[in-house]
Amino acid sequence: MRIGAAVTAAQIRAARALVGWSQPELANAAQLSMPTIRRMEGPLGPGRSTAANVEAVQRALEDAGVVFMEAGESKAGGPGVRLRS
């Protein structure tokens, strides 16, 4: 998935779980505030955040080894995440 593509709240939560990070650890890695991370992982998702904030979260998680997948990129079909092999 390219940086800035439509990342979902579920993908962020799942990616964070894959690398074993807490919300504060993600906030630190992305250099964002805790309320920003909570909001991005909440019901409204990252759509309410700036593109720069979404990119910062995606880059931090990708640097930790996460691969973001768009819908249709895997056999199951929906958007997801996995660890880099």
pLDDT confidence of residue 5: 60
pLDDT confidence of residue 2: 57
DSSP string, the chain: --TTS---HHHHHHHHHHHT--HHHHHHHHT--HHHHHHHHSTTGGGGS-HHHHHHHHHHHHHTTEEEE-TTSSTT-S-EEEE--
Averages of pLDDT over runs of 10 residues in the chain (85 residues) are 74 97 98 97 91 96 94 72 89
Domain tally for the chain?
1
pLDDT confidence of residue 9: 95
pLDDT confidence of residue 60: 98
Q: What is the pTM of this model?
A: 0.88
Look at residue 14 and tell me if it is in a domain: yes
d(CA 4, CA 2): 6
Look at residue 3 and tell me if it is in a domain: no
pLDDT confidence of residue 76: 65
CATH of the domain at 63: 1.10.260.40
Domain housing 38: 9-83
pLDDT confidence of residue 73: 64
